[in-house]
């Protein structure tokens, strides 16, 4: 019924409606084994090879809580300024779907491990927005369904479905925000900034690789609209499993325009789950959204309550690393860079790489230049993330050192980096194999300069007549003769000197 509704322009939406945001983020923990059994959690294994009677829900199989997962949950809660509950239970969340082999999910319901926290975001213009954290609770992941035969990989139109239970039982932390009001036109930006900040925080804790492309971090975006200034709450939709930062922002923007169009058409918003289509940037209807009553929660009878002692919580608090915003401030002070420059590094995904390159001995300025310029271009060309380029910070630092030592020119250095990216070995191996080292033998340079001067006597006369700029033609000839391996500055000095200017 709402498929034909036209989207309302974004500026018109924010002029007439107040958006209300809520974001639920699921984070798969990087434990060696699953939440309630000893099966491994390696990503990409052959389907249904990492399963056992417990995670398959076989009769009589009894779960045991993964202590490492509980520790990770507590550390996440502490980093989010939450209170850690001294007592909590697991519950059975009942629903019937093929990718959940037990027909219920072991989760936490009314007694989560962490509650009432916050995360402060700094937007690009420096505005700070505090996002309230309602709760962070532990649960297990579901399996994966592969729908075959349809046009878009979803169940509608598929011929058959395949089930992989390797992921069933992998430890999950679900982090739920409080309602985020008063964001107005910045709602899409705030949503992306929050998920970005949360990803960086969880990654810094070392409890998850937060690979959104592999599903180890997934965002559900709840959004509703109400008439501007009314103070009422609209009916919300939940866009499920959004798997990139850019898509989080796009999903919010599209859903705002879609809901405004539905309301303008005099149609009620349906409380439902929706799916985000990467190719179109649009959301589409999923299923009617269940309420907590639909899930028929009841306490899990096969698991004892979780009761972390105050001493254990404080011990884990002491293991928290330097948090991302603290680290960025320290780095900014050490390198003497502006707020804008540090944001650019973060947005480019280059901060860790630059810091590692500096740690390997390079200057921060040269490290930044390489990663956010030439190497970022190479990543874009290859359509990969910077971190996926086949070159290490130590190798970049070595190239920077070779330039500083006069062994390479900047042009040659790029060729060396190209060789490393092509899998030809280390920077030194590429230099040796390609013969890229700068010609530093003074006698060899003089011979090349004299040969070039002899070939262009008219240019020599111009130089002798005071037109030093004419030396560029001779310098170019020498650089060509030496295959770009001469120091252009030294070549120019020799040209002027040998021409007798």
Q: What is the per-residue pLDDT across 121-152, written as a single tens digit (0 to 9) for each? A: 988 888 899 999 999 999 999 999 888 877 66
The confidence score (pLDDT) of residue 198 equals 96
Give the tens place of pLDDT for each residue, 24-37.
Answer: 999 999 999 999 99
Beta carbons within 8 Å of 166's beta carbon, 6+ residues apart: 45, 47, 48, 49, 50, 51, 143, 144
Cα–Cα–Cα angle for 224, 227, 230, rounded to 5 degrees: 110
SS3 string, 104-173, reads EEEECCCCCCEEEEEEEEECCCCCEEEEEEEEEEEEECCCEEEEECCCCCCCCCCCEEEEECCCCCCEEE
Q: For 151-175, what is the mean pLDDT?
A: 86
Mean pLDDT (the chain) is 88
Asked whether residue 441 carries a pLDDT value surpassing 60, the answer given is no
- Span 110-125, mean pLDDT? 93
Quick one: pLDDT at residue 158?
81
Ranking 3-12, 75-84, 430-439 by mean pLDDT, the lowest is 430-439
Which tokens hold the place of 170?
């992998």
349-365: per-residue pLDDT in tens? 899 999 999 999 999 99
Rounded distance between C-alpha atoms, residue 69 and residue 85, angstroms: 15
More confident residue, 441 or 457: 457
What pLDDT is stored for residue 188 in this prediction? Answer: 96
| CA geometry: angle 316, 319, 324, nearest 5 deg | 120
3-class DSSP state of 5: coil
177 - beta bridge partners?
133
Q: What is the structure's pLDDT at 444?
A: 59
Comparing 164-168, 392-396, 487-491, which segment has the lowest mean pLDDT? 487-491
Model confidence pLDDT, tens digit, residues 402-412: 988 878 888 88
Model confidence, pTM: 0.79
| DSSP assignment letter at 236 | P
The mean pLDDT of 246-256, rounded to a whole number, is 95
Q: What mean pLDDT is predicted for residues 219-246?
A: 92
Q: What average pLDDT does the segment 428-437 reach?
A: 85
DSSP state of 304: P
């Amino acid at each position: 019924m709402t498929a034909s509704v036209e989207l309302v322009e974004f500026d018109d939406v924010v002029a007439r409606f107040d958006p209300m945001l809520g974001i639920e983020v699921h984070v798969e923990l990087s434990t060696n084994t699953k939440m309630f059994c000893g099966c491994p959690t390696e990503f990409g294994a052959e389907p249904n090879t990492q399963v056992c009677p417990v995670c398959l829900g076989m009769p009589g199989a009894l779960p045991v809580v993964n202590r490492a997962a509980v520790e990770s949950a507590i550390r996440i809660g502490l980093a989010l300024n939450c209170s850690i509950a001294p007592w909590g239970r697991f519950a059975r969340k009942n629903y019937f779907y093929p990718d959940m082999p037990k027909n219920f999910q072991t989760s936490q319901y009314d007694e989560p491990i962490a509650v009432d926290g916050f995360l402060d975001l700094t937007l690009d213009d420096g505005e700070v927005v505090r996002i309230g954290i309602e709760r962070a609770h532990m649960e297990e992941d579901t399996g994966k369904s592969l729908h075959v035969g349809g046009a878009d990989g979803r169940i509608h139109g598929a011929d058959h479905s395949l089930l992989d239970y390797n992921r069933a039982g992998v430890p999950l932390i679900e982090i739920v925000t409080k309602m985020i009001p008063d964001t107005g036109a910045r709602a899409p930006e705030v949503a992306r900034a929050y998920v970005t900040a949360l990803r960086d925080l969880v990654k810094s804790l070392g409890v998850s690789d937060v690979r959104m492309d592999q599903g180890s971090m997934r965002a559900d975006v709840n959004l509703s609209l109400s008439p501007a200034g009314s103070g009422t709450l609209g009916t919300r939709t939940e866009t499920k499993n959004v798997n990139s930062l850019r898509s989080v922002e796009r999903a919010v923007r599209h859903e705002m325009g879609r809901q405004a169009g539905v309301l303008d058409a005099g149609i009620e918003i349906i409380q439902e789950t929706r799916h985000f289509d990467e190719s179109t940037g649009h959301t589409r209807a999923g299923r009617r959204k269940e309420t907590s009553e639909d899930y028929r929660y009841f306490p899990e009878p096969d698991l004892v309550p979780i009761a972390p002692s105050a001493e254990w919580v404080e011990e884990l608090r002491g293991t928290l690393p330097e948090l991302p915003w603290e680290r960025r401030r320290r780095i900014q002070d050490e390198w003497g860079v502006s707020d804008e420059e540090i944001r650019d590094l973060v947005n480019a995904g280059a901060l860790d790489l630059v810091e590692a390159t500096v740690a390997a001995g390079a200057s921060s300025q040269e490290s930044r230049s390489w990663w956010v310029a030439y190497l970022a271009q190479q990543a874009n060309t290859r359509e990969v993330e910077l971190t996926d380029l086949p070159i290490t910070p130590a190798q970049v630092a070595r190239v920077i050192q070779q330039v500083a030592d006069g062994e390479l020119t900047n042009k040659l250095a790029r060729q060396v980096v190209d060789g490393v990216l092509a899998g030809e070995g280390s920077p030194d191996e590429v230099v040796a194999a390609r013969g890229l080292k700068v010609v530093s033998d003074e006698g060899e340079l003089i011979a090349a300069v004299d040969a070039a001067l002899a070939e262009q006597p008219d240019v020599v006369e111009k130089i002798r007549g005071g037109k030093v700029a004419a030396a560029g033609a001779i310098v170019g000839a020498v650089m060509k003769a030496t295959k770009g391996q001469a120091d252009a500055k030294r070549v120019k000095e020799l040209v002027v000197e040998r021409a007798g200017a």
